[in-house]
Every structure is written in structure tokens, then in C-alpha cells.
Structure 1
Amino acid sequence: MHPDKVDRNRLRALTDLPNIGKAGAADLRLLGITTPAQLVGQCPWQMYEKLCQLTGVRHDPCVIDVFMSITAFMNGEPAKPWWEFTDARKLAQPEKAAS
């Protein structure tokens, strides 16, 4: 869902989260996450590594940005577009900044 349309009081489905559509929800279900509340306290980096391991594919690093956006949101931060997390990801992982 687009971050501007997210209503924190109406988080029932994974697609109610900022930046999550059908494909993102499917990725989260692969990780064993079926409700937004299960994201509280999750590590986006570990989620990304587990997703890559489960699918046998190295996903685009912007998936980390999406995971950062939804875990931050579920930990109380405002809903933001995923690309607002790109710089933070690149700073945290400078050797992969070119990705």
C-alpha cells in the first residue's frame, strides 16, 4: 500500500502495510510472517538473507529498503516510501552501495 494511504488503526492484512503489495506479501509469507504484528522486533537484514536463502535467488537490495520501511513502521515510526531507506541501507552496507 502507498505510505500516504496507510492507516495504523486498520492493519489487518500484510498489504495494509506501507510499500507492500501482492508480491511483497508473498515474500513475507515465505518468511513465515502472516500478520503485520509479527514484524515487531524483526531485523530487515536477517529477513532479506532468509528470503534469498529460501528462494535461492539474490534479490534486489531495494527489498532490504522495503523491509526496513515496514519494520520501522511496525516499531512506531511514520509510514514512509521505501526509497527513503536506501541511503541508510547503503551507509550500513557500504561495500554493496553500488547495488
Structure 2
Amino acid sequence: MHPARVKRERVVLLTDLPNIGPAMAADLQLLGISRPEQLSGRDPYVLYEALCARTGERHDPCVIDVFISAVRFMEGGEARVWWDFTAERKGALLVPDDTVV
């Protein structure tokens, strides 16, 4: 759902979360997450690696941004667009030779 339309008190389904549509909800369900509250305390980077392992393919790194937005929201943060978290992800994934993965 677009962050501007999210109402915290109405979040019941995964698709009620900021930036989570049907496809991303299906990805979360592949990881055993069926309810929004199951995202609290989860590591978005670990979720991403688990998704890649589960599907046998490398997903776009922007999926990490979406996972960060959903986890942060469920931990009390504001509803924000997923690309607000891109710089954070790129900084976290900086490798020693200063290239971003």
C-alpha cells in the first residue's frame, strides 16, 4: 500500500503495510511471515538473503528497502516510501573496495 494511505490502526494484512502489494506479500509468505506483527524485530537484510535462498534467485536490492520500510513501520516508525531507505541500504552494503553491491 502507498505510505500516504496507511492507517496504523487498520493494519491487519501484509498488504496493509507501506509499500507492500500482493507480490511482496507473497514473498513474505514464502518466508513464513503471514501477519504484519511478525515483522517486528526482524532483520531486513536477513529477510532478503532468505528470500533469495528460498527462490533460488538474486532479487533486486531494492527489495531490501521495502523490507526495511515494513519492519521499521511495524516497530513504530512512520509510513515512508521505500526509496527513503535506499541510501541506508547502500551504506550498509558498501564493500571494502568502495563499490556498492
Normalised by the length of structure 1, the TM-score is 0.96
How many residue pairs are counted as aligned between the two chains? 98
Q: 1:67 is aligned with what amino acid?
A: F
Looking at structure 1, the residues matched to 80 and 16 of structure 2 have their Cα atoms a distance apart, in angstroms, of 13
- Equivalent residue, structure 1, for 2:73: 73
Please state which structure has a larger fraction of its residues in helix: 1
What CA deviation, in whole Å up to 9, does each residue of 1:42-82 have, x standing for no partner? Answer: 00000000000000000000000000000010011100000
1:30 correspondence with 2:34: no
Please name the residue that 2:92 is paired with.
Answer: 92
CA distance in 2, matches of 1:35, 1:7: 16
> Cα RMSD between the aligned structures?
0.9
Q: Distance in 2 between matches of 1:76 and 1:7?
A: 12
Greater Cα radius of gyration, structure 1 or 2 = 2
Q: Percent identity?
A: 57
Cα deviation, 1:75-96, whole Å, max 9, x if unaligned, reads: 1110000000000000111136
Structure 1 residue identity aligned to 2:58: R
Please give the alpha-carbon distance, in whole angstroms, between the structure 2 residues aligned to 1:39 and 1:94: 25
What amino acid sits opposite 2:19 in the alignment?
N
Correspondence for 2:83: 83
Unpaired runs of 5+ residues, structure 2, are none
Structure 2 match to 1:57: 57
What's the TM-score, normalizing by structure 2?
0.94
* 2: CA distance, partners of 1:20 / 1:32: 16
4+ aligned runs moved over 6 Å, structure 1: none
Gaps of 5+ in 1: none
- Following the alignment from structure 1 to structure 2, what is the Cα–Cα distance between the partners of residues 12 and 91? 32
